[in-house]
Amino acid sequence: MRAATSLRHSRIVGLGEHRPAGTLTNDDISARGLDTSDEWIRTRTGIVSRHVAASDETVVSMGIDAAAKALAAAGLTGADVDLVILATCTMRNPIPGGAARIATGMGAAGVGAFDVNAACGGFCYALSIASDAIRAGSATRAVVVGSEKLTDWLDWTDRGTCILFGDGAAAAVVEVSDEPGIGPVAWGSDGDAYASVGVPEGDWAIRMDGPAVFRWATTQLAPVAHRACELAGVELADIRAFVPHQANNRIVDALARALKLPDHVVVARDIATTGNTSAASVPLAFASLVNTGEVSSGDLALLLAFGAGLTYAGQVVRIP
């Protein structure tokens, strides 16, 4: 065998978002008869409304749209891609995964394609796999998609859970680069706490011990952010944007406090109109910051995703 070529670098060159047209406000939820209120949900979570996919909008169709927009943003087409990774945990059927259909739908039929299920941590896991594949020479250009239809998995009578989630998809195009554009991933898991959030065996909807997940997220994840910076060889002061998983604004506040983020760091707050979209949450929040011009191309962003498993992953990336 020929020795592997020396490691190359990778970078993100385009981002795309798919936000379903359908929306559901907190008032809409309480109007359905659930014992909750706009005031309670806003105060406890920061969520005001979320997007809800139509019956013909699926994890795959939303993923195709987000991928096409990411390619367009990068000035590319599906023919330029040789790897597609889909991060999701809400496919209706476990087999087959959705990545191959997304590849075909975006004009990249035949390329390497597979799904990653690390729940809400999924996008940062998938991004690191794509980056490593490119760096090692297994791929030259990848599309990483986070797509979720969480409303298929919600019990609308369970007020501790259903108010949190929404649907959507986002994608990033990753390619070979002369300069480092995606740092090494800081990742990990806690399998002992697997029951704290997920769809229990024999059940059909997401169940959650909200306070337990809240405690974990607010006490255990700041060191992961520090580790991601350390692996990338940067200080928190070098970061322009912090893009944590959008699970609850109070979790985001606690993380920002624990990290003592400098004032110049823009913190993603996509949750207000999006809710928690699991594997789509970090790329949606990131794409929103980029597409609204709140951050500039070339700056550094710290991504941090976490969720069921429990799983977590984060990395420093250069903003496309």
Active site residues: 120, 245, 276
Tokens 């984060």 belong to which residue?
314
Contacts (Cβ under 8 Å, ≥6 apart) of 81: 71, 103, 106, 108, 111, 141, 142, 143, 173
Q: Is 40 among the residues that bind ligand COA (CB under 6 A)? A: yes
Q: Is 313 among the residues that bind ligand COA (CB under 6 A)? A: no
Give least dist CB 276 to ligand COA, A: 6
Give least dist CB 199 to ligand COA, A: 13
Q: Is 194 exposed, middle or buried (0-12, 13-18, 19+ CB in 10 A)?
A: middle
Q: Is 210 among the residues that bind ligand COA (CB under 6 A)? A: yes
By beta-carbon proximity to ligand COA, the closer residue of 107 and 210 is: 210
Q: Return the range that interacts with ligand COA (CB under 6 A); candidates 35-43, 48-56, 108-116, 256-264.
A: 35-43
Please state, as a whole number, how many other Cβ atoms lie within 10 Å of the Cβ of residue 112: 17
By beta-carbon proximity to ligand COA, the closer residue of 82 and 306 is: 306
Q: Is 64 among the residues that bind ligand COA (CB under 6 A)? A: no
Structure tokens at 185: 């991933």
Q: Return the range that interacts with ligand COA (CB under 6 A); candidates 103-111, 157-165, 167-175, 224-232.
A: 157-165
Binding mask 275-294 for ligand COA (x = CB under 6 A): -x------------------
Q: How far apart are CA 284 and CA 109, in angstroms?
A: 25
Footprint of ligand COA on 162-201 (CB under 6 A): 163, 197
By beta-carbon proximity to ligand COA, the closer residue of 247 and 302 is: 247
By beta-carbon proximity to ligand COA, the closer residue of 29 and 59 is: 29
Q: Which residues bind ligand COA (CB under 6 A)?
A: 36, 40-41, 44-45, 120, 159-160, 163, 197, 208, 210-211, 213-214, 247-248, 276, 307
